[in-house]
Amino acid sequence: MRYSGIINRYRDWLPLADDTRVITLGEGDTPLIRLDRLTRTTGRDATLYVKFEGLNPTGSFKDRGMCFAVTKAVEEGSKAVICASTGNTSASAAAYAARAGLTAFVLIPEGKIALGKLSQALIHGAVVVQIQGNFDAGMRLVKEIAANAPITLVNSVNPYRLHGQKTAAFEIVDALGFAPDYHYLPVGNAGNITAHWWGYGAYHKQGRCAMPTLVGYQAAGAAPFVSGQMVDDPETIATAIRIGHPQSWALAQEARAATGGWFGAIDDAEILETQRLLAQEEGIFCEPASAVSVAGALRDLRAGRIPGEATVVCTVTGHGLKDPDVAIQQGKATRDFLTVSPTLDAVRDVIHGRMR
């Protein structure tokens, strides 16, 4: 049967009435890709996969949650949705609201949103409000507004977002036939790590899989789960996780503790390095925030923190085209972006000097 999105595939696992109109763009069903070249560099023979969520309709995992949150908003008769966003939530909200015929209001931090994401919110017809403040300030504002107006809040504090996102865990177990031993995620608001805990937990309860250990990695300049306290001025090149006051603080702590996991931090230089390695060694182009899970898993494998024979899944949260500026800066920093005269000699010189 033709694939038609997470709700149709996992309807029995989602709180939804039988006659609800489903708002879908065919989200989910993303590939689980084995990383052999990068894994070899750790000197271990773990089996390492990435779940490439950048291949969702708007280019990030947010589509799983937004599909379900907007479907529920329509079921409940809502006419508008609102969110604060570091970019991907606004792109997804704008697209799903357009499909449902709802108005989308999105608050974004001025100058701190990747170009691809801004282009998506604008072209899908969202009302885009830049605020002269960061994501955390925007979050406080949209909560206040949604509490006092007939507008549905579609940030990950909306539990339907997490129910939609838990389907990624279902897909992994359905694809492997078992749960991985470890699952690594980049953590910002910590909604997605919570959603995976719910997803694996629901399957585990039915005897379909064991519980994996959930490991969350953050950007070093925005790592409240690592320091144990909120960060007032988060800063990182990984704008998707430039968050100092995570909304799912307690839930994520519970997910970590219940599964025996941990949190760690990766600095911007290592984030960029891992983004480049994924692109150049594995053919997987992700945005900077998404490289954090893979950087964490490679580090923990090398350090022997996880056993060499483990099966590990890393969520790669968003597509690299979301943030073309960073990718182009990275490319230009290498010596392989050249301008030469249009002659055979000039081009031959380049090729001779650079064959592997």
Binding site for ligand PLP (CB under 6 A): 60, 62, 88, 156, 186-192, 240-241, 287, 289-290, 317-318
- Structural contact between residues 3 and 18, judged by C-beta atoms closer than 8 angstroms: no
Could you tell me the smallest distance in angstroms from the CB atom of residue 288 to ligand PLP? 8
What's the min distance (Å) between Cβ of 176 and ligand PLP? 22
Residue number, 91 or 310, with CB nearest to ligand PLP: 91
In the complex, the smallest distance separating the C-beta of residue 344 from ligand PLP, rounded to whole angstroms, is 43
- Report the residue number, 35 or 241, with the smaller CB distance to ligand PLP: 241
Residue type, 266: I
C-beta closer to ligand PLP: residue 296 or 318 = 318
**CB of residue 10 to ligand PLP, shortest distance in Å:** 19
DSSP 235: -
Distance CA 184, CA 215 (A): 5
Minimum CB–partner distance for residue 351 and ligand PLP (Å): 36
Q: Where are the alpha helices (DSSP H) in the chain?
A: 6-10, 36-40, 62-75, 88-100, 115-123, 135-148, 159-165, 167-176, 191-205, 224-227, 249-259, 268-282, 291-302, 324-333, 344-354
Chain mean position to CA 337: 29
Q: In sequence order, what are the residues at sequence separation of 6 or more whose Cβ sits closer than 8 angstroms to the Cβ of residue 3?
A: 9, 26, 29
> Quick one: which H or E segment has residue 48?
strand 47-52
- The Cα–Cα gap between 77 and 308 comes to 51
Nearer to ligand PLP (CB atom), residue 44 or residue 312: 312
Residue placing its CB nearer to ligand PLP in the complex, 152 or 192: 192
Whichever of 240 and 297 has its CB closer to ligand PLP, that residue is 240
Distance (Å, whole) CA 291 – CA 256: 20
- Helix, strand, coil content of the chain in percent (nearest 5): 50, 15, 35
Q: Rounded to the nearest whole angstrom, what is the least distance from the CB of residue 320 to ligand PLP in the complex?
A: 10
Phi, psi for residue 157 in degrees, rounded to 5: -75, -15
Tell the smallest beta-carbon distance from residue 39 to ligand PLP (Å): 22
Q: Which CB atom, from 46 or from 193, has the smaller least distance to ligand PLP?
A: 193
Nearer CB in complex with ligand PLP: 145/321: 321
CA–CA gap between residue 348 and residue 91 (Å, rounded): 43
Comparing every residue's Cβ against ligand PLP, the nearest one is 318
**At its nearest, how many Å lie between ligand PLP and the CB of residue 120?**
12
d(CA 137, CA 109): 9
Task: Please give the Cα distance from 162 to 164 (Å, whole number).
Answer: 5
